Structure 1
Amino acid sequence: MSDKTHEYYEQEAKAFFEATVNLDPTPFLSPLGEALAPGARVLDIGCGSGRDLLWLKNNGFVPHGLEPSPALSSLAEKHSGCPVTIGDITTTTLLAQSWDGILISGVLVHVPHTSIPDILSRVTGALTAGGRLYVSVKEGHGSATDNDNRRFYYWEDQAFRTVAKTAGLHLLSMTRSASARGNSDVWLGYVFERLPGSSG
């Protein structure tokens, strides 16, 4: 994540929280929930407002959040009632633990394409045998900077599937959907399973 992107989420934490916290995550989280056993431990990487943490908790899972913005981390923890660790996906020690499920929703859009293979490999290694991963990316080509100076990186479906397979992930389901925020973005959502014997 670029410095400008990080600054946006820290400085605009309250506005981002208010814009996203009441969006219903059921349509994209249900496939992950259905693929997990009751009581599964789930790491929500880039948990933002804490909306998805609360959904996971209310659906019988044991979630833990990771959020690079201290301001958003505080809001997420208060909203969800779940523990939230301040940190970044590329450096966090939480991926040294084992998780039944990992959620990476709307986070990899800020990560350069060249960094994705290593990140997915590290995430795969943090899943238990048969563990599940949900990840979403924006559909498109190349990268762009928006009016808030946030840098976004876009993916074609087949290209992302190929990178995930190389990281030791087996595709269980995939969805393509319009943004719940009412803009022109199209999101690709994937539920993966860690392949038997895969070390990430």
Structure 2
Amino acid sequence: MKLQQHELDSIAALTLQHYNQRAEDFREGTRDHDVSQNIAALLRHIQGQPPYRILDFGCGPGRDLKTFRALGHTAIGLDGCPRFVEMARADSGCEVWLQNFLELELPAAHFDGIFANAVLFHVPSQELPQVLRQLHASLKPGGVLFSSNPRGENQEGWHGERYGAYHDLASWHAQLSATGFVELEHYYRPAGLPREQQPWLASVWRKI
């Protein structure tokens, strides 16, 4: 059933409220998460000479912005949670945009890479094509998108106070391919565990 605009507004508002009210706890709980595998997956596929212009889409408190900046790249953050934006600006020293994922305003052909780590699953499935088109348009020709999401069997709905859509590989591949991306690689995380203990699906895509 198609979600109405008031339902989409509620999904965004309540999910962002959840993060805004728990921003400090979230920062402490994720500060030491090792996503170096994901950062490396994005960077190794970007063509041309660094430094690169990177959009950290759903940057949260700014942990990965700091990493990209330390590596010498120009990193810009984007998040819909006001507290996260404040934290990310203060902690990383990077430019950070406050934008709702369902109301994006992105520059065209601006970024070499987009890092969407643990974020796109919050976009309702019916809105995902539009969001992906906007990300696609904001990449330079041949630019690279990295995404990592908790995988599932294409179910979606509320999980506590957060809304999520949990795609399997086939569904995710169909969505990205239809938008004009070609897959470069995918893998499951955490590394080195049996598949049933790898809840995260990571994938890397090139704009064509």
TM beyond 0.5:
yes
> Would you say 1:189 and 2:199 are equivalent positions?
no
Q: Residue by residue, what CA displacement relative to the aligned partner does 1:86-121 show, whole Å, maximum 9, x if unpaired? A: 112232323445211111111111111111111111
> Would you say 1:133 and 2:145 are equivalent positions?
yes
Partner of residue 25, structure 2: 15
> Would you say 1:2 and 2:26 are equivalent positions?
no
> Would you say 1:43 and 2:60 are equivalent positions?
no
Q: Distance in 1 between matches of 2:198 and 2:185?
A: 20
Q: Residue by residue, what CA displacement relative to the aligned partner does 1:152-184 show, whole Å, maximum 9, x if unpaired? A: 2100101111110110001111111139xxxx6
Say whether the 8 Å CA contact 1:139–1:154 is kept in structure 2.
Answer: yes
Q: Name the SS for the 1:30 alignment partner.
A: helix
1:94 to 94, 106, 110: 106
**Structure 1 residues 65 and 169, CA, compared in 2 at 3 Å: closer, same or farther?**
same
Q: Percent identity?
A: 28
1:22 positional shift = 2.1
Q: Distance in 2 between matches of 1:163 and 1:71?
A: 31
Say whether the 8 Å CA contact 1:25–1:55 is kept in structure 2.
Answer: no
Q: Distance in 2 between matches of 1:88 and 1:8?
A: 14
Map 1:62-77 → 2, pairs under 5 A? 62-77=74-89
- What is the TM-score when the length of structure 2 is the normalising length? 0.85
CA RMSD of aligned residues (A): 1.7
Q: Distance in 2 between matches of 1:158 and 1:178?
A: 20
Q: Distance in 2 between matches of 1:7 and 1:173?
A: 34
1:76 positional shift = 1.1
1:144 positional shift = 4.1
Partner of residue 5, structure 2: none
Q: Name the SS for the 1:2 alignment partner.
A: helix
Map 1:43-192 → 2, pairs under 5 A? 43-96=55-108, 98-141=110-153, 142-147=155-160, 149-178=161-190, 186-192=199-205
Instruction: Please identify, of 98-107 and 170-179, the stretch whose mean Cα deviation from structure 2 is larger.
Output: 170-179
Q: Distance in 2 between matches of 1:57 and 1:10?
A: 25
- What is the TM-score when the length of structure 1 is the normalising length? 0.88
Any stretches of 5+ residues in structure 2 without a counterpart? Answer: 1-10, 192-196
**Structure 1 residues 22 and 42, CA, compared in 2 at 3 Å: closer, same or farther?**
same
